[in-house]
Amino acid sequence: MHKLLSGRSRRYLVVGGSVYLVELAVIFTAQRLGASAVVAVGLSFWVGLGMSFVLQKFITFRDKRLQRQVLVPQIAAFSALVLFNFGFTLLVAKLLAGIVPAAVSRTLALAITAFWNFYLYKTRLFKTSGGFVY
């Protein structure tokens, strides 16, 4: 278990957990201001998105490359993944609206997407040996 949660995996969980806490704060704040569950979850998703890309790239995967030929494909691939994750997140929020609180639906969607995101970040987006892999 220690090997499983060492290095990059541990950083991924810490960064992800931090972004998650920010997203929860956005959900609760948005709902206190009158937003619906779906709007609150959508807003939290986009706030977490920006934080996640920067922190996962630089902290989790220690990918310091900022050259345009690296960054542009990373952002394009990340954007495609984000659109897919966003649709999945809203679908989960819609399916569970009225059954569980918005924070629970976001948590469930986040837990599911975290698995495929880690794999894609590690093997494609932020793979530093051999450059970006499509």
Task: Judge whether 78 and 124 are in contact, CB under 8 Å.
Answer: no
Q: Which of 100, 83, 81 is nearest to 27 (CA)?
A: 100
Q: Give the distance, in angstroms, between the CA of residue 67 and the centroid of all CA atoms in the same chain.
A: 23
- Residue carrying the six token digits 């639906």: 105
Which residue, chain included where needed, has tokens 């495609």? Answer: 80
More confident site: 2 or 36: 36
Residue 4: the pLDDT is 56
CA dist 38 to 6, 98, 103, 110, Å? Answer: 35, 11, 10, 14
Angle between helices 102-120 and 8-32 (to 10 degrees): 150
DSSP 100: S
Domain boundaries, the chain: 8-125
**pLDDT digits over 40-85, tens only?**
988 998 898 889 889 999 999 999 999 999 989 998 999 899 899 9
pLDDT value at residue 57: 92
Which residues have a Cβ under 8 Å from the Cβ of 69 and sit 6 or more positions away?
Answer: none
